[in-house]
C-alpha cells in the first residue's frame, strides 16, 4: 500500500497550493490542494493538475514514439537510484521559483514541463546525446531551465516558450563529471546536479556556476550486475576523494536562440 501514499510535496512560495504525487484510480497523477488555513491544514478543494496518462500521451504526440524500457547496466543503476519513485511513473517533481511551472520525468527519457497558470506544456528530450535529469529552473526567468544529462557529462539549456534545447557544456574527459555521477546511489539526498543559477541577469545575459568532479585519483570497486562485473570509481575509507573544478558560464538569449559567450571563471 505504500506506493499509494502521497509523496514529493511542493508548497507554493507565494500562494496557497500544495502539489504532490499520488494515484487516482491506479493512475499516477500530480494533484494540488488549496490550503486556505495553513496552521490547521484546512482544505478547500483537491484537483488533479496532470495525470501520467495525459503526460504520456502528449510525449507520444510530440515525439511520435511508443515507450519501451531499455535494458542494460545503466538503466539498472538508474532504477536503483530512483526506485522509491518507480511505482508512481511521475518522478523528480520540481517547481520554479515563481510557482508558475512544475517539471517532472514522465519516462527516464523525457522531461515534462507544465505551466500551472494557463495549462500550457512543453516536453524536452535528448536521447541521442544523453538522458536529461530534472530541470533546474532559472532563478529570475522561469521560462529558462538547465538540465544535466544522466551521465553527468553535458549541460543543456531549455526554453519553455520555443521548446529549444541547446548544449552549452560538454565533458570528454572520462574522469570528469558535472555534479554527482549517475552511478553514485544517494538514497538520503536529492541528486547533486552541480549547477547553480546566478541571480545576476537581465533576461538576455545568464550566468551558471558549474562544478566539475574529477575522479582521476578515486579507486575503482567491482560491482556485479546481472551477468556482468563492472568497475566503478568509489571513494572507500582511507582512499583518495574526488576533487572539484568550478567554472562560471556566461551565455546569452535573444528572441530566437541561445548562444554561449565564454567561461569567465575557472577555479581548481
User: Is residue 52 within 8 Å of 58, Cβ to Cβ?
Assistant: no
What's the CATH code of the domain at 254? 2.140.10.30
Average pLDDT along the chain: 74
End-to-end CA distance of the chain: 48
Last residue of one domain, picked from the residues 55, 79, 100: 55
Say if 60 falls within a structural domain.
Answer: no
Contact status, residue 34 vs residue 45, Cβ threshold 8 Å? yes
Pairing of strands 27-37, 195-197: unpaired
C-alpha cell recorded at residue 59? 510525449
Same domain, 109 and 201: yes
Neighbouring residues of 93: CB distance < 8 A, sequence distance ≥ 6: 8, 10, 19, 21, 30, 102, 103, 104
DSSP 78: H
* pLDDT one digit per residue (tens) for the chain, 268 residues: 445 567 778 888 876 778 887 766 555 666 666 555 555 556 666 778 877 778 777 777 776 655 444 445 545 554 454 444 444 467 778 889 888 898 887 766 678 888 888 888 888 887 666 678 778 999 989 999 998 887 778 889 999 988 888 888 888 888 888 887 666 655 545 557 788 998 876 777 888 888 888 888 888 888 777 778 878 777 778 888 888 888 888 887 776 566 665 565 555 4
The 10 Å Cβ neighbour count of residue 238 is 6
Residue at 140 is within a domain: yes
* 21 plus 74 within the same structural domain: no
Assess if residue 246 is contained within a domain: yes
- From the CB of residue 181, how many other CB atoms can be counted at a distance below 10 Å? 20
DSSP run (H or E) holding 108: none
Determine contact, residues 223/230, Cβ cutoff 8 Å: yes
Domain co-membership, 79 together with 137: yes
Total of domains in the chain:
2
Percent above pLDDT 70 for the chain: 65
Residue ending a domain, among 28, 55, 82, is: 55
pLDDT (0 to 100) of residue 226: 73
Same domain, 51 and 76: no
Rg (CA), the chain: 19
Contact 150, 110 (CB under 8 A): no
Cell match 567561461: residue?
Answer: 263
Place of cell 500544495: 18
Do 130 and 224 share a domain, yes or no? yes
Task: Give residue 22's domain range.
Answer: 1-55
Position 146 scores a pLDDT of 92
Give yes or no for a contact between 132 and 122, defined as CB atoms under 8 angstroms apart.
Answer: no
Nearest Cα to Cα of residue 218 among 204, 197, 233, 229: 233
Same domain, 23 and 72: no
By the 8 A CB rule, do 140 and 201 touch? Answer: yes
Domain match, 123 and 250 both: yes
Pair (35, 113) in one structural domain: no
Q: Is residue 114 part of a domain?
A: yes
Asked whether residue 98 falls in the same domain as residue 171, the answer is yes
Q: Are residues 18 and 78 in the same domain?
A: no
Amino acid at each position: 500500500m505504500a506506493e499509494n501514499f502521497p509523496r514529493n510535496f511542493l508548497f507554493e512560495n507565494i500562494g496557497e497550493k500544495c502539489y504532490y504525487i499520488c494515484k487516482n484510480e491506479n493512475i499516477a497523477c500530480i494533484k494540488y490542494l488549496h490550503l486556505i488555513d495553513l496552521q490547521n491544514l484546512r482544505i478547500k478543494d483537491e484537483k488533479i493538475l496532470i495525470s501520467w496518462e495525459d503526460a504520456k500521451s502528449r510525449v507520444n504526440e510530440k515525439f511520435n514514439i511508443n515507450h519501451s524500457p531499455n535494458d542494460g547496466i545503466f538503466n539498472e543503476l538508474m532504477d536503483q537510484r530512483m526506485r522509491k519513485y518507480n511505482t508512481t511513473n511521475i518522478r523528480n517533481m520540481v517547481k520554479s521559483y515563481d510557482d508558475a511551472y512544475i517539471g517532472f520525468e514522465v519516462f527516464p527519457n523525457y522531461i515534462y514541463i507544465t505551466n500551472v497558470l494557463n495549462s500550457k506544456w512543453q516536453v524536452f528530450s535528448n536521447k541521442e546525446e544523453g538522458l536529461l535529469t530534472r530541470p533546474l529552473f532559472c532563478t529570475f526567468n522561469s521560462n529558462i531551465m538547465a538540465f544535466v544529462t544522466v551521465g553527468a557529462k553535458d549541460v543543456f539549456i531549455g526554453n519553455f516558450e520555443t521548446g529549444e534545447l541547446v548544449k552549452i557544456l560538454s565533458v570528454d574527459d572520462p574522469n570528469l563529471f558535472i555534479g554527482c555521477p549517475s552511478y553514485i546511489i544517494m538514497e538520503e539526498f536529492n541528486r547533486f546536479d552541480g549547477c547553480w543559477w546566478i541571480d545576476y541577469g537581465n533576461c538576455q545575459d545568464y550566468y551558471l556556476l558549474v562544478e566539475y568532479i574529477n575522479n582521476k585519483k578515486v579507486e575503482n570497486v567491482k560491482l556485479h550486475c546481472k551477468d556482468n562485473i563492472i568497475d566503478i570509481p568509489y571513494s572507500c575509507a582511507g582512499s583518495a576523494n574526488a576533487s572539484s573544478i568550478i567554472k562560471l558560464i556566461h551565455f546569452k538569449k535573444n528572441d530566437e536562440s541561445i548562444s554561449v559567450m565564454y567561461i569567465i571563471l575557472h577555479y581548481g
